[in-house]
Each structure stands twice: as structure tokens, then as C-alpha cells.
Amino acid sequence: MKVFLDANILVSVLNKEYPLFTYSARILSLADNPKFEVYTSPICLAIAFYFAEKKRGQIEAKNKIVLLASKLGIAETDRTVVLKAAQDKMVGDFEDGLEYYAAIKAGCKWIVTEDINDFHFSKIPVLSARQFLEKHVL
């Protein structure tokens, strides 16, 4: 099962933001489970780096991004993804559109985010970390 992780899931793990950390860390650990392929995008990694760097410093933030990039699939954000996100009239937030179309391009069947309403236009299911765990893991 291919799952796409939004930036807020990554940020909560890198910065150990409770109470979300409990669920998001468990979601991230699915990358080691052969039943799941866990993806994110370069944009989500950049956002996660920004917030991790502010809290933990550049060296630790880079080390964490290297670890994430070695464990997660990286969904492509190419010209097609950019154009689809920009031209989709349902997409209000361009960054969310980029993430959505990158997830689609990677073949993801689920998006996990704490901002479910940001993906109101999604044609694939969008769940919070807790909802995803309850539905597919626990």
C-alpha cells in the first residue's frame, strides 16, 4: 500500500511535537514494513528541514533529512505536477496541490496529514495519522 506523508507529519517527528509525535512516528515507521511504501515529496522535506533547523540546528536537521530520504520514497515534482497543481481550479493552496499531484504520480492510495481540509479536492482518501493507524494498522 502506497502512502504519502504531508510535511506536518514529518515535522512532528523531527521536532518530537506531542501529542502528534506518538502517531506520526508510528506512521513513519511503516517505511520498514514490507506491506507499505511510504512516500513524501521534496517540498515536504524542505518544509521539514526548515522547522527542524530552527529547533535543532542545521547539522542535526540535515542528518535527519538524510535519514528520511534514505527510508522514504520521494515522489517526483516535475513540470506535469506543477502544471496540474496550478491549473486545478479546486486547489486553493498551490503547495498542497503540488503534494497531491506528486502523490498521484507516485501511485499513492492515501494521503496522511493533520490538515485534512487542505486536501478537500483530493480524489484519494486523506486521513490523519491517528485515523490511518486505526484503519490500516491497529
Per-residue pLDDT at 138: 79
Per-residue pLDDT at 28: 96
Domains in the chain: boundaries: 2-136
Residue 20 has pLDDT above 90, yes or no: yes
Mean of all residue pLDDT scores within the chain? 96
Say whether domain 2-136 belongs to CATH 3.40.50.720.
no
Mean pLDDT over 59-74 rounds to: 96
User: Do you know the residue count of the chain?
Assistant: 138
Mean pLDDT over 115-132 rounds to: 97
pLDDT in tens, 27-66: 999 999 999 999 999 999 999 999 999 999 999 999 999 9
